Amino acid sequence: MQDACGVVVDIGAADRWVRAYLPEGVHYVALDYPVTGRDLYGARPDVFADGAALPFADASVDGVICLEVLEHVADPARVVAEIARVLRPGGDAWISMPFLYPLHDAPHDYQRYTEFGLRRDLGRAGLGVVAMKRTLSAIATAGLLASLAIAGPLRDRRGIGVTLLAAPAAALVLLVNVTAAVLGRMWPDWGHLGIGYEVRARRE
């Protein structure tokens, strides 16, 4: 995103944190959904709108950012089509999406994408993949998921049982993370496992 230029729309902008990673000259437009944006994330957008019906003219923006949003919309293919519609020819979209990740922001968590499902929907919308990479290696993904499985059950519980489990859980999470860090340096990576995908796609 460091080479973004012109008008850039950030879908699911939340607290506008992405702005800090964009060049100074970019005209940044933060957009979020009224219910989830305001109630879950304390969003401060320029525009409240639905990603499936973007309030912008055809071919009117130079870039679109959509990070960790598509799993939370009922029709992700429609949102991708809207991204393609508002992008000018040659404009770029930066999209990220989880592949393996626990349920979150319930009940607004509807799906996950494989690499090929993401490529399919981008292609159908007229967006060509410029670059795609997995988020985290296979070993790092396994370590993160194991840590979440250990800590997750304790997160929203109270009582003496949870207090007694807190120290062992912290030790286990530390052990898992250290093991994953060491093993990740020694073991061959496996391209079929990752926490998600980051994509740069271009309007054809």
| Domain residue extents for the chain | 7-137+194-203, 138-186
CA 154, CA 187: separation in Å to the nearest integer? 31
pLDDT in tens, 105-128: 889 899 999 999 999 999 999 999
Residue 41, pLDDT above cutoff 80: no
Q: 135: alpha, beta or left, given left = phi > 0 and alpha = psi -120 to 50?
A: beta
Q: Alpha helices, DSSP H only, in the chain?
A: 34-39, 76-86, 115-124, 138-155, 160-186
- Residue 40 confidence (pLDDT): 66
- Determine how many CB atoms are found less than 10 A away from the CB of residue 60: 14
| 11: three-class secondary structure by DSSP | strand
| pLDDT cut 70: percent of the chain above it | 97
Query: pLDDT band at residue 38, thresholds of 50, 70 and 90?
Result: low
Does residue 57 contact residue 71 with C-beta atoms inside 8 Å? no
* Helices and strands of the chain, counted as H and E runs: 5, 7
Q: Of 37-46, 81-90, 150-159, where does mean pLDDT reach its minimum?
A: 37-46
CA-based nearest residue to 149, from 97, 192, 100, 198? 100
pLDDT of res. 115: 96
Q: Give the residue from 159, 156, 133, 134 showing the smallest Cα distance to 144.
A: 134
Interatomic CA distance for residues 173 and 167, integer angstroms: 10
In CATH terms, the fold of domain 7-137+194-203 is: Rossmann fold (3.40.50)
